[in-house]
Every structure is written in C-alpha cells, then in structure tokens.
Amino acid sequence: MYKKKPFFIVFEGIEGSGKSYLSKKLFNNLNNRGFKIVKTREPGGTPGAERIRKLILKDYFGKNNENLFDKYTDTLLYLAARNEHIKKKIEPALKKKKIVICDRFIDSTTAYQVSGKIVKPSFIDSIHREILGKNKPNLIFVLKVNINKALKRLRKRKVKNRYDKFSKSFYIKAQQSFLKIAKKNKKKYFILDNSNDSTDIEKNILKIVLKKLNTNAIHQKFR
C-alpha cells in the first residue's frame, strides 16, 4: 500500500538523451495509477522563471558576441530562475506531499556551467546553500546516450533552442560530467543507457520509482 509522501524525481542528461520524453512517460504512468504529480522543467517551471528562460535564450542567440552575458551573469540568471521555481512550485508541491518530476535540476548547472563554461563550483554551491533548503531530489535518472545518436535526434527537431546547438565536444564533456556525478552516489542516482529507442527503459524507470515509493502498484498493468 502506498503511503502518501513527498518525492522529488529528476531527469538529467544531455540534449537528445530523451529526458523530456521519458519524464512525460513516467508522469503519465504514475498519473494513471492515481498518484498526485507535478511535472516541471528547468530553467523555467513558473511564469517568472519562464521569463528568465526566454531572456537567457534570446541573449545566447545574439549576433554581437561582445554584448552577450558574461558567464557569471548567465549562471546567476539560471540560479534566479531556480529560486523562483523552488519557492513557487517545487516546495509548495512537496509540502502537499505530491510527487515532483523535473526535467533538469542542479546537476545540469554543474555539467554545463562548471564543466562546460568553467564557472567556479564554490560560486554556485554558495547560492545553492541559500536557495535549496531541504528541497533536494530523492531520485535522479541520468540518461546516457551515444553522442552520434543524440545528434541525430537533435537534427530531427523542427524547433531548436540554445541547448540543441552546442558542439559535439561540448556534449561529450557534459555527459562525462553527469556520469561522474552519478557514480558518486549510486543509492540516489540511476544511470540508464537510452541510445536505443526501446520501451524497456520506460518500464525500468517505472519499476525503480514504484519500488522507491514502496508501493504494490508495480503489479498493475503498464500503460
């Protein structure tokens, strides 16, 4: 029997790894089983954070590189969006004992801003200490993917944003960072290879989540 409790699930990985698709699949499967769930994303998730997201994207695609945000300004905007997201969506949902599924969270900041843009980790950690509070993920899925397969998936996207246009070497470096983070805490992190377009990974994710929630809903029909 499932005892209602707050539970925070995050999907991490590079573009083309299937984060958005699999987080949506998990949302649907849990929702069909009667769980109270909030599905969200970063950067964004609230009206204020979504406005910051648009600002970041607009800046990145500016033609004059001299006018682009400094990497620390860029990072602060991400963290500002996260603060809005936590205070106005994630924390309220967890207080109501809902399950929160988030597409990206703090590990993306490490993979992209620290590893990718060489922002000092101490700078980010100090701000996280102020804004995270007790709102930390219970379970993180890191989706590993063959880089060429990821790039192939990205080429098929009709609408591309900032995250879909990095170099191959950047994605390789970012993925290595995600995997390094995950390997340090195997109780909370699950590394899953999503290079193949198979529904097996959906079933595996659902099985892991239901086990963590201590529920017998795992025996219900998979949808």
Q: Phi/psi of residue 36, each to 5°?
A: -90, 115
Q: Which residues contact 193 (CB under 8 A, 6 or more apart)?
A: 143, 144, 145, 201
Q: Give the three-state DSSP class for 39.
A: strand
Query: Residue written as tokens 């980790």?
Result: 121
CA 115/CA 113 separation, integer angstroms: 6
Strand partners, 102: 10, 40
pLDDT per residue rounded down to tens, the chain (223 residues): 456 789 999 999 999 999 999 999 999 999 999 999 999 999 999 999 999 999 988 766 666 667 788 999 999 999 999 999 999 999 999 999 999 999 999 999 999 999 988 999 999 999 999 999 999 999 999 999 999 999 999 888 877 777 777 888 989 999 999 999 999 998 899 999 999 988 899 999 999 999 999 864 444 444 4
The pairing of beta strand 139-144 with beta strand 7-12: parallel
Distances (CA, A) of 42 to 19, 104, 107, 163: 12, 5, 11, 12
Q: Phi/psi of residue 92, each to 5°?
A: -60, -40
User: Is residue 179 packed enough to be buried (19+ CB in 10 Å), middle (13-18) or exposed (0-12)?
Assistant: middle
pTM of the model: 0.90
Q: Is the dihedral of CA 203, 208, 212, 215 positive or negative?
A: positive
What pLDDT was estimated at residue 64? 67
Q: HEC profile for 102-162?
A: EECCHHHHHHHHHCCCCCCHHHHHHHHHHHCCCCCCCEEEEEECCHHHHHHHHHCCCCCCH
Among 206, 214, 212, which Cα is nearest to 187's? 212
For the record, the structure tokens of 223 come out as 């949808």
- Structural domains present in the chain: 7-42+98-219 (3.40.50.300)
